[in-house]
Amino acid sequence: MIVLWLAREGTLCAESKSPVEATNQLIDAINQMLTYDPKVRIVIEPKPNEPIDRSICGTIGHALAIGSATIDPSRVGGNVESAHAVLAGLDPSHEMGFALAGGKLWTVHLNDQNSIRFDQDKSFGVENLRQAFNQVKVLVENNYGANGEYVGLDVKAMRTTGDADGYKHLENSLAIVKALEAKVTKFNYAYQRKCVENRDYEGLEMYVLKLLMGIDS
């Protein structure tokens, strides 16, 4: 399994490249990889910007569309990274859900991101705990990992971190994932359905926040 981190496949100058030609070149490149080794699987990790500012494959929808245009779509899937989805202004859990619906979420990179600035790779859940909860929730609900799929923690220490704390970003991310998995097991789906039936979305949101804060309903 080869993950293609498509962060430089784009342009800094809009008029310097044809997006049509660039997309077809990417498809041709993947076709050559598929032809070279009949056992290889290609996993596209999309990113909308940084280091370039106009990607030709910015979201998981782009990635799966490119995969469908190759000579063997069955061997091309996707990798959703939380921060990259946030950089595109999208909800990571919905990006994951989109790929899961097509059986194409072959690996996941969990981290966090403060808005649409540079790719930060912050510890999972430290910026948006509810968003992190919903990422874990969609993975758990769909039994992710049962077919050997991987969940990675694509995080890095903050630049001012001392050497003694150099691995806390990994320890913290794993602890948050496990804590949110426990929250998902407590999620009251019957109450969720009742809220939806009654169109009580404020009630549902408050329930989720109380769950995350450890407040008894």
27 and 118 both lie in a single domain: yes
Domain that holds residue 122: 2-185
pLDDT in tens, 161-185: 999 999 999 999 999 999 999 999 9
How far apart are the C-alpha atoms of 191 and 214, rounded to whole Å?
Answer: 17
Determine the average pLDDT of the residues in 131-142: 98
pLDDT at residue 172, rounded to an integer: 97
20 and 118 both lie in a single domain: yes
134 and 198 both lie in a single domain: no
Give the confidence band of 7 by pLDDT, cuts at 50, 70, 90: confident
CATH of the domain at 163: 3.20.20.150
144 and 211 both lie in a single domain: no
**Residue 140 and residue 181 in contact, taking contact as beta carbons nearer than 8 Å:** yes
Q: Which distant-in-sequence residues (6+ apart) come within 8 Å of 180 by Cβ?
A: 125, 132, 133, 136, 137
pLDDT in tens, 181-202: 999 999 999 999 999 999 999 9
The tokens describing 121, both together, are: 């790779």
Q: Which distant-in-sequence residues (6+ apart) come within 8 Å of 206 by Cβ?
A: none
How far apart are the C-alpha atoms of 207 and 216, rounded to whole Å?
Answer: 9
**Residue 25 and residue 59 in contact, taking contact as beta carbons nearer than 8 Å:** no
- Report helix, strand and coil shares of the chain as percent, to nearest 5: 50, 15, 35
Look up residue 79 and give its amino acid.
N
Residue 217 has pLDDT above 70, yes or no: no
pLDDT in tens, 34-90: 999 999 999 999 999 989 989 999 999 999 999 999 999 999 999 999 999 999 999
Domain count, the chain: 2
180 and 199 both lie in a single domain: no
206 and 151 both lie in a single domain: no
**Residue 147 and residue 97 in contact, taking contact as beta carbons nearer than 8 Å:** no
* Peptide bond before residue 38 is cis, with ω within 30 degrees of 0: no
Q: Which residue matches tokens 């190759």?
A: 70
39 and 12 both lie in a single domain: yes
